[in-house]
Amino acid sequence: MQTVIQKQNVETAKTEKKTNTKWLQMKKMKTLYFMLLIPMIMLFIFSYIPMYGIIIAFKDFSPGLGIWDSPWNNFEHFKRLFSDFLFVRALKNTVIISLLKVVIVFPAPIIFAILLNEIKSEKFKKVTQSISYLPHFMSWVILSAMVIEVFSPQRGIINFIITLFGGEPLNFMADKTSFIPILVLTDMWKEIGWGAIIYLASIASIDPGLYEAAEMDGAGRFHKMIHVTLPSIMPMVIIMFILRLGSILNAGFDQILNLYNPLVYEVADIIDTYVYRSGLEQFQFDYATAVGLFKNVVGIVLILSANAIIRRKSEHGIW
């Protein structure tokens, strides 16, 4: 009996020691925790407090009555969603554009990071990285103006080359066939450099001994990329892919709002632009909130589902 009590006392002492050690570490890093407190407060104020407004998705909202006094509508806005042709079209366009970006844009930073890692010249690598990062720091207001100018029928360099070879100028930005490829390619151009940062960091943490062992086995540079680099960064790729699936209904609001026009609404109108027009232009705040809530619930379900499936097949996942 005494032995059992002694073991319990030892375990209790170890637990208290661990707790005290963690508390001492937190006290040492109190400045960092204080710095963390600032963005946490901002997140709470600007992201969590406004969630109170979700209630109007279930009401016939009247600004004069306010949120609480507006009458409940028995889920009428959600019933309206799939009977609304414009919403169904926006949902279809959102899924198509997002899937294209997942298939084409998502792998681009991975490939770019692996290729950058193979460059021997440090100076050339830094210059390439700096150039590839630049578009990320520019807003779509600026970039869209540049894209529109490049593809302009009168002033664009693309149409200048076409007419140089005897062709007729084309209005790419008003053409339903060419608009979606432009969306996908310009999104890749803007984010490829910034997206590669996290993969370059993962590559930098790979044990050099793995490359040495591969060289001893006769592996060339290409085989080392395929059999060492890519498998080593795969856990990070999986995590980023799960997070990307969670935003499958985010097809790029800023980009599309600044690039599209009524001539391409049929293929370019997405859920976010539909919410923008319904809420801010047509003042249907309650219906727009219902559409946004639907989109976010789908995103959460996709993240949970993707993480659960990947955790069953492998040991990697978000949690």
pLDDT tens-digit readout, 6-38: 555 556 655 655 666 777 777 778 788 888 888
pLDDT tens-digit readout, 186-245: 999 999 999 898 899 888 888 888 888 888 888 888 888 888 888 888 888 888 888 888
Burial of 39 (0-12, 13-18, 19+ CB in 10 A): exposed
CA distances from 128 to 62, 63, 196, 278 (A): 54, 52, 12, 42
Q: What pLDDT sits at residue 104?
A: 92
| Domain definitions of the chain by residue range | 59-313
pLDDT tens-digit readout, 109-155: 999 999 988 888 888 888 888 898 889 999 999 999 999 999 988 88
Q: What pLDDT sits at residue 179?
A: 92
Q: What pLDDT sits at residue 18?
A: 63
Q: What percent of the chain has pLDDT over 90?
A: 16
Long-range contacts of 111-120 (CB under 8 A, 24+ apart): 112/192, 112/193, 112/195, 112/196, 113/196, 113/199, 113/200, 113/203, 113/233, 114/199, 114/203, 114/225, 114/229, 114/230, 116/196, 116/200, 117/200, 117/203, 117/229, 118/221, 118/225
Q: What is the 3-state secondary structure (H, E, C) of the chain?
A: CHHHHHHHHHHHHHHHHHHHHHHHHHHHCHHHHHHHHHHHHHHHHHHHHHHHHHHHHHECCCCCCHHHHCCECCCHHHHHHCCCHHHHHHHHHHHHHHHHHHHHHCHHHHHHHHHHHCCCCHHHHHHHHHHHHHHHHCCHHHHHHHHHHHCCCCCCHHHHHHHHCCCCCCCHHHCHHHHHHHHHHHHHHHHHHHHHHHHHHHHHCCCHHHHHHHHHCCCCHHHHHHHHHHHHHHHHHHHHHHHHHHCCCCCCHHHHHHHCCHHHHHHHCCHHHHHHHHHHHCCCHHHHHHHHHHHHHHHHHHHHHHHHHHHHHCCCCCC
CA distances from 19 to 32, 148, 272 (A): 19, 59, 47
Residue 310 or 305, more confident = 305
Q: What is the mean pLDDT of the chain?
A: 84
Q: What pLDDT sits at residue 316?
A: 63
Cβ neighbours around 226 below 10 Å, total: 12
Does pLDDT of 314 surpass 80? no
Q: Among the ranges 15-19, 73-77, 95-99, which has the highest mean pLDDT value? A: 95-99
Long-range contacts of 86-89 (CB under 8 A, 24+ apart): 86/269, 86/274, 87/271, 87/274, 87/291, 89/266, 89/269
Q: What pLDDT sits at residue 313?
A: 66
Q: What pLDDT sits at residue 133?
A: 87
- Section 270-291 average pLDDT: 87
Residue type, 254: D
Q: What pLDDT sits at residue 317?
A: 59
Q: What pLDDT sits at residue 315?
A: 66
Residue 318 corresponds to which tokens in the numbers above? 């978000």
* pLDDT bracket for residue 81 (50, 70, 90): confident
Q: What pLDDT sits at residue 13?
A: 55
Q: What pLDDT sits at residue 107?
A: 93
Does pLDDT of 108 surpass 90? yes
Does pLDDT of 1 surpass 80? no
Q: What pLDDT sits at residue 144?
A: 92
**Options 1.10.3720.10, 3.10.129.10, 1.20.1250.20, 3.30.420.40; CATH of 59-313:** 1.10.3720.10
